[in-house]
Every structure is written in C-alpha cells, then in structure tokens.
Amino acid sequence: MSRTAVAAAILISTLAVASAQAQTAAPTPPRTPPQTLAPAAAPAPRTPATAEQRASADRMDPLTRSVFWARENEVDPRDPVAGVRTAQALRELGQYDQAAATAQGVLLLQPQNIEAMLEVGRAHIARGQGFYGIAALEQARDLAPRDWRPLSLLGVAYHQVKRDEDAREVWNTGLTLAPDNPEILTNAAMARTEAGDAAGAEALLRRAAAQPGASTKVRLNLALVLGLQGKTAEAERIIRRDLPPEMADRNLAWLRARTATGANPASGRTWNSLQGR
C-alpha cells in the first residue's frame, strides 16, 4: 500500500472514531430563559371612613377615638376634621403637648380653621400654660365674633396669666352672646373660687347647673365649691349622684383632706372639676 493510501486510511479511521463518539455523547439540553418573579400586587388604597362610621367613633371612649381619628389622619393628612378630632382625643387622654401640636398642624394647612384654634387653646389651658393658646384664641374670636366659645376659653387663658380684668371682660361679652351659658358661668365661677370668693362662685355655679345643657362637670364644680364652704352634705349628694361609688369615695376623701388642712380645694382641679382626678 502506498503512503498516500495509508494516510487516507488513517484519516478515515480517525473521522469514524470522532463520529462515533459524537453520536454516543449525551445531547446538551436546550437553555431555558431565567424565570422572573411577578410583581407583587399593590395594596388596596385606604379610604376614609363613612359619615356613619365617624359619627359612631365620636361616641366612643377617648382611647378608641384617638386610634380611629389617627387612622383617618393617616389616610388623608389634609383632612382638617380628622386632625381636630385627633387633637381632641389626645387632650382627653392627658397628652396635652401632642394635642396642641396636632391642632397646630391643622392650622399649617388651614390657617383660618376655627375648630383647630379652639383645640390649640384647650390643650394649652389643660396643661396649665394658657399663655401659649392666647394668640390662637384671639384669632378665633376675631374671625368668629358671634361665637361664645373663643371668649369662654380666652377668659381661662387670661386668668392663668393673671390678666383678670381681661378675663372678666371677655366672659361678660360671651354672656351677652349666650346668656346663662353654663360653660362661661363655670369658668368665671372657678376664677372666683381661686380668688377666695366661694360665695360668688356658688351663685354662678347654681345658675349654670340650672341650665338644660349643664354638664356633669358643672355640677361637680358646684359640689367642690359647696365643700369649700363646709356644705359637705349637699356636696356629697351631688357627687354620689354623678359618680360611681368608688370614684365618689375618692373625691370625697380628697375634698375632706383639703378642707381639713385649710387648703383651697380648687387648687389643682379648678378647670377639671372633681371627675376622677
């Protein structure tokens, strides 16, 4: 065999072996594209509560109301009603600084919101710092000259900063707008109590308690003033009529202790009456 034939034979043999190896090798599986995760479904948008739900919430206790209205405030931070109601609930829970800040936040969005101005005033009065609520209350008075509420609160704020003449003036103006208004009469009466005029305070509180819209707070402040004058039997009748037994016992014990030591029973409770405090 010639060299050419040998070389050809070798080449054919090599190709045959390679072909056989290719045929016996496992086929390479086709590459599949990588799987991608489907985007997560967006949460359903939160919507404000209905008018019926809001009305129902306003009948709840302060803690429940604070949770409800805080949620409403989150749903729509520009909702002034939610902001004011949140501030009110916080104030009733004793969180006065937060209440004032929440109401002030409403005024950043609505500078002429009278309800927010009133809540600013109430929160600062409740924490004993009426001075910081005067500007908001004076603005509310000027924006709503026929509304007695700014005048009633303004008198308390003035009294807290010892502007007693100004306090009497705004209370008198308030009573021309709302004669025998229980809230104005009570505020004026408690100022007299602090000044040592228990008899004058009693007269105003009896007028206030006789009004159809008089609240429990009015009657309990009357009981406090009666106790100050030693009229403990009548004071106890009022307290036991308006408070649960254990709370009545605590308040009567507190009142007796204050009068026994000669301390002014109104001190520390002037604007909150005896209710559970």
- Is 60 exceeded by the pLDDT of residue 2? no
- Is 50 exceeded by the pLDDT of residue 172? yes
Residue by residue, DSSP assigns 95-131 as -HHHHHHHHHHHHHH-TT-HHHHHHHHHHHHHTT-GG
Is 214 among the domain residues? yes
Q: What is the mean pLDDT of residues 10-25?
A: 41
Is 247 among the domain residues? yes
Range of the domain at 254: 193-277
Distances (CA, A) of 155 to 67, 142, 183: 32, 15, 11
pLDDT category of residue 160 using cuts at 50, 70 and 90: very high
Q: Does residue 262 or residue 68 have the better pLDDT?
A: 68
- Is 50 exceeded by the pLDDT of residue 10? no
pLDDT at residue 3, rounded to an integer: 43
The single residue listed with the structure tokens 């005024």 is: 107
pLDDT at residue 269, rounded to an integer: 47
Q: Does residue 93 or residue 47 have the better pLDDT?
A: 93
pLDDT at residue 59, rounded to an integer: 84
Question: Is the torsion defined by CA of 272, 99, 163, 145 positive or negative?
Answer: negative
Is 253 among the domain residues? yes
Q: Does residue 9 or residue 26 have the better pLDDT?
A: 26
Among residues 269, 254, 258, which one has the least CA distance to residue 217? Answer: 269
Task: Read off the pLDDT of residues 56-79 as tens digits, 9 standing for 90 and up.
Answer: 887 888 888 889 888 888 888 888
Is 72 among the domain residues? no
Give the DSSP letter of residue 133.
Answer: G
The percentage of residues in the chain with a pLDDT greater than 70, rounded to a whole number, is 78
- Is 50 exceeded by the pLDDT of residue 142? yes
Helical spans, DSSP H, in the chain: 3-24, 51-57, 62-75, 80-92, 96-109, 114-126, 134-143, 148-160, 164-177, 182-194, 198-209, 216-228, 232-242, 245-260
pLDDT at residue 161, rounded to an integer: 97
Q: What is the mean pLDDT of residues 225-235?
A: 92
Q: What is the mean pLDDT of residues 113-131?
A: 97
Residue 173 and residue 164 in contact, taking contact as beta carbons nearer than 8 Å: no
Is 112 among the domain residues? no
- Is 50 exceeded by the pLDDT of residue 135? yes
pTM beyond 0.85: the answer is no
pLDDT at residue 32, rounded to an integer: 54
Residue 201 and residue 224 in contact, taking contact as beta carbons nearer than 8 Å: no
- Is 60 exceeded by the pLDDT of residue 223? yes
Residue 88 and residue 116 in contact, taking contact as beta carbons nearer than 8 Å: no
Is 271 among the domain residues? yes
Distances (CA, A) of 181 to 89, 147, 149: 24, 12, 10
Task: Read off the pLDDT of residues 34-55 as tens digits, 9 standing for 90 and up.
Answer: 555 555 555 556 788 888 888 8
Is 231 among the domain residues? yes
Residue 181 and residue 209 in contact, taking contact as beta carbons nearer than 8 Å: no
Instruction: Pick the range with the lowest mean pLDDT from 118-122, 145-149, 179-183, 271-275.
Output: 271-275
Tally of domains in the chain: 1
Average predicted confidence (pLDDT) for the chain: 83
pLDDT category of residue 123 using cuts at 50, 70 and 90: very high
Residue by residue, DSSP assigns 194-225 as HTT-HHHHHHHHHHHHTSTT--HHHHHHHHHH
Q: What is the mean pLDDT of residues 10-30?
A: 44
Is 197 among the domain residues? yes
